[in-house]
Amino acid sequence: MQALLVFLAIAALSLLASSPALDPGRFPALARLAAGGFLFLLFGVVLGPSMVGVLSPEDLQLMRPVMALGLGTAGVILGLNLEPRLLRLLPRPVYAAALAHSGTAFLFVAVPLVVPLVLTSRPSVVAAVGAASLLGAAASLSSGHFAVLAYRGGRMDRARGLGVALLTMLDDALGLAVLAVALVLGAGSNPGEGLGLVCLAMLLGVLCGALLAFLTHAMNDLAELTTVTLGMVALVGGAAAYLRVSALLAGVACGATLALVGGRTVERVARALGRVERPVFLVVVFLVGSGLYTRDWAAWALVPGFVGLRFLGKVVGGRLTQRLARGVLELPPRVGYALIAQGGLALCLVAEYEFLVPGTLARRVLDVVVVGAVVNELLAGPAFRQVLPPPPPREPPASAGVGVAT
């Protein structure tokens, strides 16, 4: 019955998100949250065990298969974006620029926050380092949706909009790499076992990706192609959840393998997955939100630090990025302000970490990132306006006394 409630709540929210009640002119912040899916995150927090309690911790446990499916899907979509031909074409300074803004934000958040994490929870140093690096990884990620919307709306030129979007796509790699390292440190009883589990996830993904490429090779029926794609996404996420390894990393390996060996099929598979991307994303953010534990005061105390340091890291990293990408990538001035929106991958990273690394520290990381994601999304709008050119001054209206020749 709870599952039914969840789906009905999501359906109601989907209707709300597309309703004229959320007119950007009337409630811009709320409309932005709805458009980015973060309204679902808030709704999950409200319905979760910590607040209204419509969903109990047992219900969330029962929803784990759905979460595994969501993480697997997110991973495969990310992996499919790793198009080898395109990646080879990118010059080195672009990689350096992406690393600059994400790496700076990572260091600005991870290094200072390791201290309060050790002091407030007294875990082993390795666990605190793992948790702090996950916070840093979440901070390093940015979403390019503001830039894309701006160039589509004609408020930013196309080259600059795409430049920002490219940077935000490349920073996903750092986030995923840190997740892998954090899992090596925390998912097993020792780093050796942790490494084995990460390798198992990748191997599983590679096998599934290669098999998906073979299964869909020369498949012409669209319904069959969609069925096989969705089945394989469920299989890779499900197998990872069953083996208790990372569904996200397995999905990425699956998608990347398919992108490498899939040939012409890749585009059709990506299109099939594109149809379920939005609903899956909304369900995932809803479930991540409902997992928030609101009574952890230490987590609340960390949120200002997380948001503030990330902001600072992005601004400073943006300057570095601009310097490194000069002449190669066209970027707007003060590009750091365009990188404040956080995006959904950060939520996937911390959700995965909380699944696989037991303990209160992983939950605290999730709490901080969930609240931080909402705050960053609210900050992102005003921050993005800083990088847009000022609107052209309006022509003064013609005075009544001026005659017009006819």
Partner 1 sequence: MKGAVVRLLLLVGLLAIISRAQVLREDAGTPVTLAAGALLLCGLFAGKVAKGLGLPRLTGYLLVGVAVGPYALGFIPGEGVKGLDLVKGLAVSLIALVAGTELRLGLIRRVGARVALLCAAVCGVTFTVCLAATFALKPVLPFLAPMTWQQALAVSALVSTVVVSFSPTVTIAIVQETSAKGSFTEFLMALVIIGDLFVMVAFALAAGLTRASFGGGLDVTGLLSGVGWELFGSVVVGGVLALVMLLYMRGVKQELPLFLVGLSFAAAEGGTRLHLSPLLVSLAAGALIANLDEREGERIHHAIQRAGLPVFALFFAAAGAGLKLDALMTVGPAALLLVVLRGLAIWFACRRFAPADDPRLKQYLWMGLISQAGVTFGLAALVSRTFPTFGPQVEVLIVAMITAHELVGPVLTRRALTASGEVRTDEAQATA
- Using CB under 8 A as the binding rule, whether residue 234 contacts partner 1 is answered as yes
Q: Is 190 in the site for partner 1 (CB under 8 A)?
A: no
Cα–Cα distances in Å, from 397 out to 401, 404, 405, 406? 12, 13, 17, 19
Rounded Cα distance between 83 and 345, Å, is: 19
Least separation in angstroms between CB 64 and partner 1? 5
Interaction of residue 213 with partner 1, rule CB under 8 A? no
Q: At what angle do helices 345-356 and 158-186 cross, to 10 degrees?
A: 0
The least CB distance from residue 73 to partner 1, in Å, is: 11
Nearest CB to partner 1, comparing residues 40 and 108: 40
Closest CA to 334 of 121, 164, 93, 139: 164
Shortest Cβ 151–partner 1 spacing (Å): 27
Q: Cα 147–148–150 angle (5° rounding)?
A: 60
User: What is the three-class DSSP state of 293?
Assistant: coil
Neighbour-count burial of 388, counting CB atoms closer than 10 A to its CB (0-12 exposed, 13-18 middle, 19+ buried)? middle
Instruction: Considering only the stretches 24-32, 235-243, 337-345, 398-406, report the one whose residues sit in contact with partner 1 under the rule CB under 8 A.
Output: 235-243
Contacts of 171 (CB under 8 A, 6+ apart): 98, 101, 102, 140, 141, 142
Shortest separation between residue 7's beta carbon and partner 1, angstroms: 6
Q: Is 189 left (phi over 0), alpha (psi -120 to 50) or beta?
A: alpha
- Closest CB to partner 1 among residues 242, 300: 242
Helix (H) / strand (E) element for 299: namely helix 297-325
Could you say whether residue 1 binds partner 1 (CB under 8 A)?
yes
Closest CB to partner 1 among 139 and 225?
A: 225
x-or-dash pattern for partner 1, window 268-307, by CB under 8 A? -----------x----------------------------
Size of site (CB under 8 A) for partner 1: 38
Closest CA to 374 of 402, 398, 343: 343
Between residues 67 and 113, which has the closer beta carbon with respect to partner 1? 67
Within residues 191-210, the interface with partner 1 by CB under 8 A covers 200, 204, 207-208
Q: Residue 200 or residue 312: which is nearer to partner 1 going by CB?
A: 200
Q: Which is nearer to partner 1, 39 or 356 (CB)?
A: 356
Torsion, Cα of 331, 335, 338, 339 (10° steps): 110
SS (H, E, C) 101-134: HHHHHHHHHHHHHHHHHHHHHCCCHHHHHHHHHH
- Name which of residues 343 to 362 contact partner 1 (CB under 8 A): none
Helix, coil or strand: residue 225: helix
Min separation Cβ 230 and partner 1, Å:
7
For the beta carbon of residue 29, count every other beta carbon within 10 angstroms.
12
> 346: which residues sit within 8 A by CB, 6+ positions away?
137, 138, 139, 141, 175, 369, 373
Closer by beta carbon to partner 1, 53 or else 231: 231
Of 72 and 318, the one with the shorter C-beta distance to partner 1 is: 72
Can residue 215 be called a binding residue for partner 1 (CB under 8 A)?
yes
Beta carbons within 10 angstroms of residue 155's beta carbon: 15
230 lies in the binding site for partner 1 (CB under 8 A): yes
C-beta of 12 vs 159, nearer to partner 1: 12
- By CB under 8 A, the residues from 17 to 76 that bind partner 1 are 64-66, 68-69, 72
Q: Which of 117, 206, 232, 253 binds partner 1 (CB under 8 A)?
A: 232
Query: Which stretches of the chain bind partner 1, using CB under 8 A?
Result: 1, 3-4, 7-8, 11, 64-66, 68-69, 72, 200, 204, 207-208, 211, 214-215, 223-224, 227-228, 230-239, 241-244, 279
